[in-house]
Structure 1
Amino acid sequence: MTAHIHITGASGSGVTTLGAALAARLGAPQFDVDDFYWMPTVPPFTDKRPVAERLALLGDRLLGDKWVLSGSLVGWGDPLMPRFDLIVFLYTPADVRISRLRAREADRYGAAIEPGGVMHENSRAFLEWADRYDEPHFEGRSLAMHNRWLAAQSAPVLRLDGVSTTAEQVAGVIERLGT
């Protein structure tokens, strides 16, 4: 069986969690878009890789019979779209997403995100950006942008509830794959 699956959604929607669980279930490698989008920096997530470099690095990894790619390629990853057999879109309400993101930021960075910490401003700006996802006219990554992007894809799109358990989400993808 071949399975080339791209999982996308808003930050905090559970994309990476589902990607890891699905990859484990399929015995496939999982790749996270952030590992290709961002340069390794301290603090992290401050310098973007040039698009051509992202595409080359990611394209070299999306080989083989099975893989799962989690994250968002909207706005730069279109050359990779023909490789997808299925696109999974997770939608999670803002209150749940932001709660998850606050907990993740605290787990990852601890006191560094507190006022006066080296990550405080980056964390605050990230959470404000993520909270705008459902705004219809937000020009950053948004639900409206994702919906337009999904409508233009040739691969089938499976929409899942990001509040469902990871096991339920994996079962939904497996059912869609017919395995």
Structure 2
Amino acid sequence: MPRDIHRKIYLTGAAGAGVTTLGAEIARHYGLTHIDCDTYYWQPTDPPYTHKRPVAERCALISARQAQGGWVLSGAFDGWGDPLIGDVDLVVYLQTPTPLRIARIRAREAERYGARIEPGGDMHGIHRAFIAWAAEYDNPRFAGRNRRRHEEWLAVQQAPVLRLEGDSPLPALLWQVTQSMMTELRPATGFGATAARRVATSQA
């Protein structure tokens, strides 16, 4: 599909909420660049997820990708990446029930790493710690990323904020994003009637 629009969309939510999946689908459907925060948050190591990139380095890498044109950025900054979305057109917050999020994470990790996350595997401890961390999202006293902090951050955003239910089918979520882009924001090539027809066709 031709890259004929220059929209800038940021998707955020808890771990396992589905922001990467939805972000990739929006980008694919409209010919935008998809950028996932986790790709740049962690240094490439084996086992993974053991060394964070410095904030300045990860921001520089993401900014370079954004310079290519319209983009969809997915992930949760928790403050460190706010300068990257100063001119964002739309913020999408995906809220997904915790049991479903944890089930998704378990399935995703098993598919990616197999026996490495099982007892005795070199990633077992990393996997258990990640599950425990993700499960605390609804706890307002949790020191890590949590719903209270997310809500406080959303409340001060200048761009429109679209809230979506992460347990909805992917085509329905894509449709809601398109509707929001059409009704709340200024016109831009690709998000008019043609874009609506594209989504309607994909749902048929």
TM bracket, shorter-chain basis: over 0.9
Which one of the candidate residues 88, 94, 105 is aligned to 1:90?
Answer: 94
Conserved? CA contact 1:34–1:71, under 8 Å: yes
- Measured after TM superposition, the shift of residue 43 of structure 1 is 0.7
Show the 5 A alignment for 1:26-175. 26-175=30-179
- The count of corresponding residues between Structure 1 and Structure 2 is 179
Letter in 1 for 2:44: P
Letter in 1 for 2:151: N
- Measured after TM superposition, the shift of residue 75 of structure 1 is 2.4
Larger radius of gyration: 2
Q: Which residue of 1 aligns with 2:29?
A: 25
Percent pairwise identity: 53
Q: Which runs of 5+ in 1 are unaligned?
A: none
- Measured after TM superposition, the shift of residue 61 of structure 1 is 1.1
- 2:160 and 2:133 map into 1 onto residues whose CA distance is 29
- 2:173 and 2:69 map into 1 onto residues whose CA distance is 22
Q: Which runs of 5+ in 2 are unaligned?
A: 183-190, 192-204
- 1:112 and 1:140 map into 2 onto residues whose CA distance is 25
Q: Which residue of 2 aligns with 1:2?
A: 6
Conserved? CA contact 1:81–1:153, under 8 Å: no
Letter in 2 for 1:144: R
Structure 1 runs of 4+ with >3 Å offset: none
TM-score, length of structure 1 as denominator length: 0.97
For residue 52 of structure 1, give the secondary structure of its aligned residue in structure 2: helix
- Measured after TM superposition, the shift of residue 64 of structure 1 is 4.2
- Measured after TM superposition, the shift of residue 57 of structure 1 is 1.0
- 1:20 and 1:166 map into 2 onto residues whose CA distance is 11
- Measured after TM superposition, the shift of residue 91 of structure 1 is 0.2
For residue 89 of structure 1, give the secondary structure of its aligned residue in structure 2: strand
Conserved? CA contact 1:88–1:157, under 8 Å: yes
Bigger relative contact order, structure 1 or 2 (CA pairs below 8 A, ≥6 apart): 1
Taking only aligned residues, the RMSD between alpha carbons, in angstroms, comes to 1.0
Does residue 14 (structure 1) correspond to residue 18 (structure 2)? The answer is: yes
